[in-house]
Amino acid sequence: MKTDIIKYDFKTGLPQEFEIVDLATLYQEFKNTLTTTHRTGFYHIIWFQQGNPTHLADFNPIKISPNSLLFLNKDTVHRFDKETKFEGKILLFTESFFCKTKTDTKFLRNTPLFNELFSITPIQIQKQSEVFANLMQSMADELQKTKDHFQADILQNLLKNFLLHSEREYEQQNLFEVKKGADFDIVILFKDLLEANFKNQKQVNFYAKALIITEKRLNQATSKVIGKTPKEIIDDRIILEIKRILVHTTGSIKEIGYSLGFEEPTNFIKYFKKHSQMTPVEFREKNSLA
């Protein structure tokens, strides 16, 4: 029987809400946990140094090559490969650790590295391995020191440099052209509103009014930055949540639909089938081992 998706909070008792762990050691100790679908309330930077595993994130299999970085936003539903051996490092941190100022918060929200509106794509770092290795080692060395009132800021600055170098690689590898500016700001605000309201608000006009812009202006922004209309983005978010609940819980179709604002089961089934080419029951059966 499936239960609710397991969610893990950050480990308690550490000097900082920031940790670097050897991936092989972590995998050896917690293989069953890591290879079972789960979500966490903190951010992941996974440096796969050796091996070619497939990482599953929100039903998307991500093929990993050696010497690549994978960035996972908090609350992403994912699991590690059970069959393939791999080695590397994993850096974990919380939002409260990184976001000391409004500027920090804006940076973390705006970077494409952790933004679920963009595809989750590993970054290859062969040419820049030394840069990332040095930054990772500097963070590891700082963690070994006795905690003082400098440590959190030093770690946060090193982490931000790591993220900036990663974002540079992200853009240079043409994984996605990030068009920052007024349109990008609108999209980020729209994303935040959507995350808070998608279960009950599915109409574009609600979000446009909340942003104090026209539906046309919102459409211009999302189309330019992401290549999708606001309605497509809303539907994508709702469908993702439906898939998560279908596969990882035992709720009835009627209960799931109602929890996401569909009062009539028939409307819920039609909506899901329109966007997934199968009924909720068919999807659940097909992905029962996902």
pLDDT digits (tens, 9 = 90+) for 253-277: 999 999 999 999 999 999 999 999 9
What's the token pair of residue 182?
A: 């007024």
What pLDDT score was predicted for residue 247?
83
Convert the pLDDT of each residue in 128-148 to its tens digit.
Answer: 889 999 999 999 999 999 999
Lowest mean pLDDT among 98-102, 116-120, 216-220, 276-280: 116-120
Q: What is the 3-state secondary structure (H, E, C) of the chain?
A: CCCCCEEECCCCCCCCCEEEEEHHHHHHHHHHHHCCCEEECCEEEEEEEECCCEEEECCEEEECCCCEEEEECCCCCEECCCCCCCEEEEEEECHHHHCCCHHHHHHHHHCHHHCCCCCCCCEECHHHHHHHHHHHHHHHHHHHCCCCCCHHHHHHHHHHHHHHHHHHHHHHCCCCCCCCCHHHHHHHHHHHHHHHHCCCCCCHHHHHHHHCCCHHHHHHHHHHHCCCCHHHHHHHHHHHHHHHHHHHCCCCHHHHHHHCCCCCHHHHHHHHHHHHCCCHHHHHHHCCCC
Q: Please give the CATH topology (third level) of the domain spanning 6-172.
A: Jelly Rolls (2.60.120)
Q: Is the pLDDT of residue 55 over 50?
A: yes
> Which CATH number applies to 182-286: 1.10.3720.10, 3.40.50.800, 1.10.10.60, 2.115.10.20?
1.10.10.60
Paired with 73 in beta bridges are none
Dihedral-angle region of residue 4 (phi above 0 means left; psi in -120 to 50 means alpha; beta otherwise): beta
pLDDT range class, residue 2, cuts 50, 70, 90 = very low
Name which of 185, 229, 239, 280 is nearest 59 in CA terms. Answer: 239
What pLDDT score was predicted for residue 143?
95
Residue ranges per structural domain of the chain: 6-172, 182-286
pLDDT range class, residue 3, cuts 50, 70, 90 = very low
